[in-house]
Structure 1
Amino acid sequence: MAIKFLDWYLKIAIGSAIIGGSMELFMIKTGFYDKVTVLESEKRAWENSPEAQAMREALNPWRNHDAEERKSS
């Protein structure tokens, strides 16, 4: 039964590989990965900044409450 549809599976696999390769080539040519790398590094720098940590604490003051409660019990 699977042999009957093997040509369809091969066509779908080849078509998918061509589409995926084209997308990767497009992203490389347009500099997508360079932009994403810069954005991710800026995001990490912001998340580790004192301002971001203060904002996290202000938005969720009970974040460490459970951990302290477990230590005391």
Structure 2
Amino acid sequence: MKFLDWYLKIGAVSALIGASMEVFMIHTGFYGKVTVLESEKRAWESTPEAQAIRDALNPWRERDDAARKSSCRTFERNPNLGKLQKALASLEAIKFP
């Protein structure tokens, strides 16, 4: 390979930079802080308040509820399905050269 030495140099420098970043994070206590923050986040997400907020902010909750009740009838209730079928029919009517 013509540029093998160049690729080896790039690989060695990249490995050195990555190792130095890991050493820095270990010495500054980064992993301990992240572990604490993640555990606090998971504990809060499991509370009823967080579930209520998540449900209230979900724009698809009505459609999800309808899909849970009757997954095969969801498309029958969709008012846009007729528009979609008409659009597909008009596309099928067009003949391309």
Tell me, in whole angstroms, the C-alpha distance in 1 between the residues paired with 2:7 and 2:36.
Answer: 39
Tell me, in whole angstroms, the C-alpha distance in 2 between the residues paired with 1:30 and 1:71.
Answer: 55
Name the residue aligned to 2:51. 53
- Shift in Å, 1:70: 1.4
State the structure with bigger RCO (CA 8 A, min sep 6), 1 or 2: 1
TM-score (norm. length: structure 1): 0.84
Q: Segments of 4+ in structure 1 off by > 4 A?
A: none
Which one has a larger percent helix, Structure 1 or Structure 2? 1
Tell me, in whole angstroms, the C-alpha distance in 2 between the residues paired with 1:52 and 1:62.
Answer: 19
Q: Percent identity?
A: 65
Does 2:36 align with 1:38?
A: yes
Structure 1: gaps (5+ residues): none
Among 22, 25, 28, the alignment partner of 1:27 is 25
> What is the aligned residue count?
71
- Shift in Å, 1:33: 0.4
Among 6, 9, 14, the alignment partner of 1:8 is 6
Give the partner amino acid of 1:69: S
What is the aligned-residue RMSD (CA, Å)? Answer: 1.9
